[in-house]
Amino acid sequence: AQTVTQSQPEMSVQEAETVTLSCTYDTSESDYYLFWYKQPPSRQMILVIRQEAYKQQNATENRFSVNFQKAAKSFSLKISDSQLGDAAMYFCAYRSASNAGNMLTFGGGTRLMVKP
Amino acid sequence: EAQVTQNPRYLITVTGKKLTVTCSQNMNHEYMSWYRQDPGLGLRQIYYSMNVEVTDKGDVPEGYKVSRKEKRNFPLILESPSPNQTSLYFCASSSHGAAGYHEQYFGPGTRLTVT
C-alpha cells in the first residue's frame, strides 16, 4: 500500500518570503500522480498543483511550484512571495495511475501560518 | 455552477442514533467517494462508487454504509454511530475512475460529532 508522509506539522513564513513544504511517499509503482491541496479555514479542498510521475519537468502554477524527485520519492511544494491568503492546511496526495477507484492517499497535512 | 453539495454541514448526534449525510453532484460524474479527515491523518477514503449500483470499500469502511441508486447522489449512512466516528467528512466526485487523470471535486465538508 502507498503511504504519504508530511514531516512538518506546522510551518510559518513571513509575508512576501518563500517557504517550502515537504512530502515524501512510498510506492512500488512507476506511473502515478502527485498533488498538493490547500484547505483554508472554510475547509474547502482546493487543488493547488499536480505532477504526473512520467514528466520530468516540475509543475508550476503562478507562485506555486514543486520539486519532484522521483528516485528519492520526494515531492515538495514551494510557495514564493507568500501572501496572507496562503495561510491554510496543505495536504500532499498520491494517486496510482492504474487505480480504478480513483482513490487519493493523503499525508497528514502541514499547517502554514503567514506572518504580516 | 458545477458543484458537489453535502448536507448537513454540521451535525451533533448521540451514540447509536442512525444518521445519513447526503451528497449530490451536478456534473454527471460517474465516480463518487467519501473521505473522513482526522487530525494528523489527513483524508482517508471510506467508500467509493464507480457508477449507479456499483460501490466498493475504501481504506476505512467499518461502521459505514453507502448506496448509489441515482447517478447524482451518494449518501453516507451511519447505522449506529459511535464517538470514534466524530470527524470531518468529505464527498468527492470525478468524471470516471478509470486509469488516467481525472480531477476530483470535493464537497464543502460535514462536521460530525457523536457524543
Question: Is B11 an interface residue toward A (CB < 8 Å)?
Answer: no
Measured between beta carbons, the chain A residues lying within 8 angstroms of B58 are 101, 103
Question: Is B51 an interface residue toward A (CB < 8 Å)?
Answer: no
Measured between beta carbons, the chain B residues lying within 8 angstroms of A4 are 42
- pLDDT, one tens digit per residue, over A1-13 is 789 999 999 999 9
Q: Which of A36, A47, A114, A106 is nearest to B88 (CA)?
A: A106
Give residue A100's pLDDT band: very low, low, confident or very high (50, 70, 90): low
B42 Rama class: left (phi>0) / alpha (psi -120 to 50) / beta: left
* C-alpha to C-alpha distance for A94 and A26, rounded to whole angstroms: 9
Assess contact for A13 and A114: CB atoms under 8 A.
yes
**Alpha helix stretches (DSSP H) within A1-116:** none
- pLDDT, one tens digit per residue, over A36-73 is 999 999 999 999 999 999 998 999 999 999 999 999 99
Assess contact for A110 and A12: CB atoms under 8 A.
no
